[in-house]
Amino acid sequence: MKHLMRALFFAIALYGLGQPAQAQTGKPVTIVDANLVNESDLAKLPHMNPALAKAVIAKRPFKTVKDLDAALSSLSKADRTELYTKVFVPINLNTATDEEILLIPMIGNRMLREFKEYRPYTALAQFHREIGKYVDATELARLEQYVYVPLTK
C-alpha cells in the first residue's frame, strides 16, 4: 500500500508539471501521457526497448511533445509517428506550435489550419463543436486525447 501511495503521488506530481493546474484534458482512448507511463509499459510499446525506455524516463518530465520527440531522436520519423499512437505529451490547443500539432499522428496541413483557426479555445466543448464539423465522433475522440485547454480565470 505504501508503494501504491508513493507511485500515485509521483504520477500526480509529474502530471502537474506538463499541464497547467487548471485545464480541461482530453480523455485517453489509445494513448498514455509520456510523463506518467512507467518504464516497463513504455518498453513494451512499438519501437521501444528496455534501454530506450530507461533513457526516455531519465529525461522526464517533458514540458512539450517536442522534448519527447528529441528524446526519441534515435528512432526514425516513421517509427516515432507510430509510437505516438500509443504515447504522447498533450499539447495546449492555444499555444501549440505548428510542429507540435503536426506530431499528432495522421494530422496534415488542413487539420493544422482548423486547429489554429478557432483559437483561443476556452473549453474542450468548443474543440468538439468546431473540429467535429470536419471529422466523425471516433476521430474527434482520437484527436481529443492529444490536447488540453487551459482554463482561464
Please give the share of the chain, as a percent, with pLDDT higher than 90.
Answer: 79
In this structure, of 12-16, 74-78, 90-94, 97-101, the range with the lowest mean pLDDT score is 12-16
28 band by pLDDT with thresholds 50, 70 and 90 = confident
Sequence-ordered list of residues with C-beta below 8 angstroms from that of 86, at least 6 positions apart, any chain: 30, 31, 32, 45, 46
21 band by pLDDT with thresholds 50, 70 and 90 = low
Look at the chain and report how many structural domains it folds into.
Answer: 1
User: Mean per-residue pLDDT for 127-147?
Assistant: 97
* pLDDT score, position 20: 46
User: Mean per-residue pLDDT for 37-62?
Assistant: 97
Domain ranges, residue 21:
2-150
CA distance linking residue 88 with residue 108, whole number of Å: 17
